[in-house]
């Protein structure tokens, strides 16, 4: 289990990647903010399975945090992160300083695509401008063949896919499944903020999503009814501060009133002072449940 090579400057990283590509190696990129867990490692493993070389980046990107958000207290666990990356056979890790990524005179930002407008776009104005800018910078610094993102951040993955298509970026954006704790909680660097009591309470988020999938499996198509059901599950667990618990078109994220095709359920809620997000795809089976014995 070799430790990954750690690089902190853009020039050194560019030279390393150029050398790899000169020898015909394909490169998979996994951008992260560190405080790594199995969710991040699943992206690195996927990159390693599809590319010759995996490059992870660890950078807590200041431009995607609003002034009142948790930028300064965001967990920074570099030593543990490097050990975890070694277990996933990551080859290179880019750990730039803030000034390396944003010299004091930098002033250019990306206007994110339309799909950045609803949901997180409403609750966290400016967030996706910061995300799109840093990801485009990383794509320019590391000309990867493929870049790996988690479905955990569903809207973020859409924003990046759309940006890559709109700006003709020569990178294939790969979206990977959500990795969960055994009890259903979606893994997140922010889970470590939760007190033992909140850690129990938060299970209502993933439970609200699985109950929804079950209701859809039983034939419920009324999205308004399904949204109410989600909100009730959250409220019953004492989760009162819900930014959204909604059902949307998985391509455009526009709100759905009925499930007649593919849909995604998305939740953003505060458990204590910790804001967590989760989602699941809802595939409404065609035909009524009575038509399909497999639906039970």
- C-alpha torsion sign, points 10, 31, 196, 243: positive
From 16, 17, 27, 40, residue interacting with ligand AMP (rule: CB under 6 A): 40
Contact predicate 212/228, CB 8 Å: no
Closest residue by Cα to residue 155 from 250, 81, 273, 244: 250
d(CA 40, CA 271): 22
Does 116 bind ligand AMP (CB under 6 A)? Our answer is no
For ligand AMP, which residue has the nearest CB?
150
Q: Is 40 noted as a catalytic residue in this protein?
A: yes
Query: Which residues, 6 or more positions from 229, have their beta carbon under 8 angstroms from its beta carbon?
Result: 208, 211, 212, 215
Residue 23 CB, shortest distance to ligand AMP, in Å, is 28
Does 207 bind ligand AMP (CB under 6 A)? Our answer is no
Query: Which residues, 6 or more positions from 242, have their beta carbon under 8 angstroms from its beta carbon?
Result: 231, 234, 267, 268, 269, 270
From 187, 209, 277, 282, residue interacting with ligand AMP (rule: CB under 6 A): 187
**H or E segment and range at residue 5:** strand 5-7
From 63, 129, 133, 189, residue interacting with ligand AMP (rule: CB under 6 A): 189
The Cα-based distances of 163 to 12, 112, 144, 167, 278 in angstroms read 27, 7, 16, 6, 22
3-state secondary structure string across 84-145: HHHHCCCCEEECCCHHHHCCCCCCCCCCCCHHHCCCHHHHCCCHHHHHHHHHHHHHHHCCCC
Residue 220 CB, shortest distance to ligand AMP, in Å, is 27
Q: In the range 62-101, which residues lie near ligand AMP by CB under 6 A? A: none
Residue 232 CB, shortest distance to ligand AMP, in Å, is 25
Catalytic residue among 37, 40, 68, 127: 40
Residue 272 CB, shortest distance to ligand AMP, in Å, is 19
Does 284 bind ligand AMP (CB under 6 A)? Our answer is no
Contact stretch for ligand AMP (CB under 6 A) within 15-23, 97-105, 145-153, 204-212: 145-153
Does 33 bind ligand AMP (CB under 6 A)? Our answer is yes
Contact stretch for ligand AMP (CB under 6 A) within 102-110, 149-157, 195-203, 237-245: 149-157
From 57, 129, 188, 206, residue interacting with ligand AMP (rule: CB under 6 A): 188
Break the chain down into helix, strand, coil percent, rounded to 5: 45, 20, 35
Structure tokens at 105: 């005179």
Does 153 bind ligand AMP (CB under 6 A)? Our answer is yes
Does 216 bind ligand AMP (CB under 6 A)? Our answer is no
Does 135 bind ligand AMP (CB under 6 A)? Our answer is no
The Cα-based distances of 62 to 102, 112, 133, 137, 227 in angstroms read 9, 17, 11, 14, 33
Contact predicate 54/139, CB 8 Å: no
Does 56 bind ligand AMP (CB under 6 A)? Our answer is no
Does 179 bind ligand AMP (CB under 6 A)? Our answer is yes
Contact stretch for ligand AMP (CB under 6 A) within 11-19, 68-76, 174-182, 231-239: 174-182
From 43, 115, 136, 264, residue interacting with ligand AMP (rule: CB under 6 A): 43
Q: Which residues are catalytic?
A: 40
**Which residues in this chain contact ligand AMP in the complex, by CB under 6 A?**
32-33, 39-40, 42-43, 149-150, 152-153, 176, 178-179, 186-189
């Amino acid at each position: 289990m070799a430790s990954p090579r750690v690089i902190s400057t853009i020039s050194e990283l560019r030279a390393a990647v150029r050398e790899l590509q000169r020898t015909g190696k394909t490169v998979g990129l996994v951008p992260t903010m560190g405080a790594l867990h199995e969710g991040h490692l699943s992206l690195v493993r996927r990159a390693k399975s599809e590319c010759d070389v995996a490059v992870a980046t660890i950078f807590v990107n200041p431009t995607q945090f609003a002034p009142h958000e948790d930028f300064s207290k965001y967990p920074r666990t570099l030593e543990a992160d490097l050990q975890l990356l070694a277990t996933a056979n990551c080859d290179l890790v880019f750990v730039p300083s803030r000034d390396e990524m944003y010299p004091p005179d930098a002033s250019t930002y990306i206007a994110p695509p339309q799909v950045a407008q609803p949901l997180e776009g409403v609750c966290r104005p400016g967030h996706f401008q910061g995300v799109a800018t840093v990801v485009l910078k990383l794509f320019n610094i590391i000309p990867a063949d493929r870049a790996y993102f988690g479905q955990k951040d569903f809207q973020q993955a859409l924003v990046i896919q759309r940006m890559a298509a709109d700006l003709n970026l020569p990178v294939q954006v790969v979206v990977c499944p959500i990795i969960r704790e055994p009890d259903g909680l979606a893994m997140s660097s922010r889970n470590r903020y939760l007190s033992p009591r909140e850690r129990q309470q938060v299970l209502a988020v993933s439970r609200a999503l699985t109950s929804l999938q079950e209701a859809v499996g039983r034939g419920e198509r009324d999205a308004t009814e399904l949204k109410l059901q989600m909100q009730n599950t959250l409220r019953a667990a004492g989760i009162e501060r819900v930014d959204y618990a909604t059902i949307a078109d998985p391509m455009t994220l526009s709100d759905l009133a009925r499930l007649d095709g593919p849909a995604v359920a998305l939740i953003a809620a505060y458990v204590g002072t910790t804001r967590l997000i989760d989602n699941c795809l809802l595939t409404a089976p065609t035909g009524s449940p009575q038509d399909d014995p497999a639906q039970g």
